[in-house]
A and B are shown apart, each in its own frame.
Chain A
Amino acid sequence: MDQQAIARIRAVIAAGKRRDLIFAGLGVLALGIGILTFLTLFIDMAVDGLGRLSVEFFTNFPSRRAGQAGILSAWVGSTLVMLVTAVIAVPLGVAAGIYLEEYAKKHWINDVIEINISNLAGVPSIVYGLLALGLFVYQFGLGQSILTAGMTLALLILPVVIVATREAIRAIPGIIREGAYALGASKWQTVSDHILPYSMPGILTGVIIGLARAIGETAPVITIGALTFIAFLPPAPVSAEPPFVNFDWLMSPFTVMPIQMFNWTSRPEAAFHQNAAAAGFVLVLMTLGMNALAIWLRYRLRRNIKW
């Protein structure tokens, strides 16, 4: 090869390397903008609210006096609503995901269902609130209760759970499945002994990510009528007299963290704004905590699943 050709090749390579560098730089910039925005908001909220964090903040009910207000009813309400959401969304979503992946035959109806599940994930959350208001609150007469909120948010995150389940099932190699069938396993035995256990890490990750989203959903919960000033806790599920366990707490009025924050920010006093910042800080920590739990669970469960 002559000198000119080699020089031309070198020029092309150098131009390519410059383009690589520019793209890498743009990528880092884009990443940085996203992270920086989040960090700025988070730190701003932390700076405003950290001063308010104390044991009393977590154990006090909201009050007209900013100094004495706390988030007790809010974080208990959030936790209970998340519990109901999980109990409804997980069995429904996992079962639907398993059915669609393992049992549904190729039929145009199933294709339509599949498309619509992804569409459901894009429906504005307030629409779920309106649906719940008409159907659960009035038609079924469940009232403005924890049960209604749990059912509404379960519907909201159902597509997330279904998609996570399907993706987790699809990740299982075909020869593992064939290995089970070749030993004489029935479809249900293959699903319960192999498919479900091996897809559990992926499913759990999806569930927790769904719950982390649901914990911050405000619009549907306001629409069904979660109250903004609750100075009491739902009745305890266990008691000393028979019947030792009761479910009255499901029908109780309640509030959740985002609504408490919303209530405080709409008041004029600056002290309430500080409360809202503190509550927001706690809410973000709860969300980050759930995501961290998802990551840790996925790591622990994935360790044993290799193929």
Chain B
Amino acid sequence: MAAVLNVGAPTPAQQLVPKARTKNLNFHYGSFQALKNIDLPVYEGKVTALIGPSGCGKSTLLRAFNRMHDLYPGNRYEGEIRLYPEDVDLLSPEVDPIEVRMRIGMVFQKPNPFPKSIFENVAYGLRVRGEKNRTALADKVEAALKGAALWNEVNKRLDELAVNLSGGQQQRLCIARALATDPEIVLFDEPTSALDPIATASIEELIHELKRHVTILIVTHNMQQAARVSDFTAYMYLGEMIEFGETNEIFIKPKHKRTEDYITGRFG
């Protein structure tokens, strides 16, 4: 199994620095409880994957981190999501969701570039923060596009419409857009499920590179992808976190039978 999944050596404990942690997190869509008592640690500079069958709540959990649920009526959080090192509770009513979203970025399942130019897409996050200096914007856009491995393909056509790029390029553009503002955590919501295998591979390679600079939390319905890219994995089922651990342990020696059933494909 290890050879097929190509997992690495276990991480020594002293290198782990917590970046965020959910504490007893519950979430309700109206009267339906989508998350039950979730305790998830997110370690700095590591990729944490959320896996599980459809409807298990992994996207719901992801979207709680940047308070996307606040955009729609009828949603209710209970519990905390603490962000370190300040140890602030992101879900507290005193914390402005806009500030949370300025510190935690998101890449969506379907690439969603704005119908604007490539430059304006990447620069938007900076403009929202009040950056007006043309040179500063150009520098940061270039850095972000390089970080997303897209610079060489688009540097001569930054004023062209972003929607004319291919699917894989669009998704890398969305990653660049999220990176431009130096977020502390980047949330990836099934980023490759709408892409072909070649584009998928380039995004996965990018994630490997990115984790050196930023903490990543990724939702994926593809177990093999979780095994390929993540350092830690959380298995969720029907709103509960069944198991959390280092990726190689979860995939080789899962502690719970339900985890083992899912991983070995007995259901899903």
Q: How far is the CA of A106 from the CA of B177 in the complex (A)?
A: 33
Q: How far is the CA of A105 from the CA of B112 in the complex (A)?
A: 26
Least CB distance from B166 to A in Å reads 14
In this assembly, does B125 line the interface, its C-beta being within 8 Å of a C-beta of chain A?
yes
Which residues of chain A come closer than 8 Å to B161, judged between CB atoms? 304, 306
Q: How far is the CA of A180 from the CA of B71 in the complex (A)?
A: 12
Least CB distance from A280 to B in Å reads 42
In this assembly, does A29 line the interface, its C-beta being within 8 Å of a C-beta of chain B?
no
| Interface membership of chain A positions 155-176, coded 1 if the CB is closer than 8 angstroms to chain B and 0 otherwise | 0000000000000000001011
The stretch among B11-19, B103-111, B197-205 that forms the contact with chain A is B103-111
Least CB distance from A198 to B in Å reads 6
Which residues of chain B come closer than 8 Å to A244, judged between CB atoms? none
Which residues of chain A come closer than 8 Å to B106, judged between CB atoms? 182
The answer to whether B112 touches A194 (Cβ under 8 A) is: no
Considering the complex, give the chain B residue whose CB is closest to the CB of A173: B112
The answer to whether A307 touches B66 (Cβ under 8 A) is: no
Count A-B contacts at CB 8 Å. Answer: 66
Q: How far is the CA of A307 from the CA of B112 in the complex (A)?
A: 7
Which residues of chain A come closer than 8 Å to B127, judged between CB atoms? 193
Considering the complex, give the chain A residue whose CB is closest to the CB of B107: A182
Which residue from A105, A175, A183, A307 sits with its C-beta under 8 Å from B115?
A: A307
Least CB distance from B259 to A in Å reads 31
The answer to whether A306 touches B110 (Cβ under 8 A) is: no
In this assembly, does B49 line the interface, its C-beta being within 8 Å of a C-beta of chain A?
no
Considering the complex, give the chain A residue whose CB is closest to the CB of B121: A179
The answer to whether A180 touches B108 (Cβ under 8 A) is: no
In this assembly, does B101 line the interface, its C-beta being within 8 Å of a C-beta of chain A?
yes
The answer to whether A178 touches B112 (Cβ under 8 A) is: yes
Considering the complex, give the chain A residue whose CB is closest to the CB of B127: A193
Q: How far is the CA of A106 from the CA of B72 in the complex (A)?
A: 11
Considering the complex, give the chain A residue whose CB is closest to the CB of B124: A183
In this assembly, does B223 line the interface, its C-beta being within 8 Å of a C-beta of chain A?
no
In this assembly, does A296 line the interface, its C-beta being within 8 Å of a C-beta of chain B?
no
Considering the complex, give the chain B residue whose CB is closest to the CB of A198: B115
Least CB distance from B106 to A in Å reads 4
* Central interface residue in A183, A189, A306, A307, by most chain B CB within 10 Å: A183
The answer to whether B71 touches A175 (Cβ under 8 A) is: no
Considering the complex, give the chain A residue whose CB is closest to the CB of B163: A306
The answer to whether A182 touches B114 (Cβ under 8 A) is: no
Q: 18 A-B residue contacts at CB 8 Å?
A: A105-B73, A176-B114, A178-B68, A179-B114, A182-B106, A183-B101, A183-B102, A183-B128, A184-B102, A184-B129, A185-B98, A185-B124, A186-B98, A186-B128, A194-B114, A198-B115, A304-B161, A306-B115
19 extra interface residue pairs, beta carbon distance < 8 Å, beyond A179-B113, A182-B105: A178-B112, A181-B68, A181-B71, A182-B68, A182-B106, A182-B108, A183-B105, A183-B124, A183-B128, A183-B178, A183-B181, A184-B101, A184-B125, A185-B98, A185-B124, A185-B128, A193-B127, A194-B114, A305-B115
Top-8 shortest CB links A-B: A184-B102, A183-B125, A182-B106, A175-B112, A184-B101, A179-B112, A306-B163, A305-B115
